[in-house]
Every structure is written in structure tokens, then in C-alpha cells.
Amino acid sequence: MLKGFIEDVELLTNGTSDISNKLSYVQDKDCLISISYARYTKSTFDITSYFHDKGCNIIAITDSYTSPIALKASKVLLAKNTIGTYSFVSAMTIANSLVTVLGKVNKEDTLKRLEKQDAIALESGIYL
């Protein structure tokens, strides 16, 4: 969603072969939103550590202030799972809230970009 109205946004996912290429452009002014829950994945921790070592701001969405990514983060947003469940609903709710707030930072520009994307989608026949 952020990529739709903010330039220079990248989605970093596990298993992408170009991750080292994307990481080679990381600068200290960049910000990472990192999401991780117990059982924490090594790749998410490694990427978070890389951004931390570069001096970047890191927003961790996680289940504990002592989770591996929380210890590297500038800000920690707790989104705990209920006992016996493993759901990303709470994390996605927080992420959606962040997207909404960031979209409002420059509301006019955001609306223009979204309208342009909608027009392109209509032109391309993406919608029925």
C-alpha cells in the first residue's frame, strides 16, 4: 500500500533473490517496518540487524519488547497474539493504521497518486 503513494518504498520478503541488491542501497535516512512473531525468523532478524547497523530508524511490530527485532528497533509497536493462536490480524491492523497516517501526511499528493493508479487500472481493464 505504501508503495502506491510514497516513492522509494520496497517490500522486502523472504526468499527473494534480489534482497542483497535491495539492501545495497540502504542509507541511514531510511526506515524499516519489521514484523516478526515467535518463532522469530532468522532472515527477518538479519535484515533488521542490517538496517540497525546502517543507523536507520526501525519500527518493530512484534509480540514482545524483548523479541529479537524489538531489541534493534527505534520504536516498538506491540501486537500480541492471544493464547493458542498464530494470527497476523493485529499486526496488519497496526500496519494499516500506519499506512493511513502516512497517507494523510500529504493528503493532496496521496489522492492524486491513487486517482492516477485507479485511472490506469480502468484503462487497462483490470476492473470489471
Lowest-confidence pick of 17-31, 51-65, 78-92: 78-92
Handedness of CA 39, 41, 44, 45 (dihedral sign): positive
Residue 86 has pLDDT above 90, yes or no: no
Number of domains the chain contains: 1
Alpha-carbon separation of residue 31 from 3, 7, 108, 128 (angstroms): 14, 13, 23, 37
**For residue 94, is it within any domain?**
yes
In a domain, 107, yes or no: yes
CATH number for position 62? 3.40.50.10490
Residue 13 in any domain: the answer is: yes
Q: CA-to-CA distance for 20 and 43, rounded, in angstroms?
A: 12
Reported pTM = 0.82
Which residue is listed with cell 518504498? 9
Helices (H), the chain: 19-23, 42-53, 89-105, 107-123
pLDDT interval class at 68 (50, 70, 90):
very high
Residue 101 has pLDDT above 80, yes or no: yes
Please tell me which of 62-66, 89-93, 109-113 the model is most confident about, judged by mean pLDDT: 62-66
Residue 6 lies in a domain: yes
128 belongs to a structural domain: no
Q: 76 lies in a domain? A: yes
pLDDT band at 97 (very low <50, low <70, confident <90, very high): very high
Q: Give the domain range for residue 42.
A: 2-123
Q: Of 44-48, 81-85, 118-122, which range is least confident?
A: 81-85
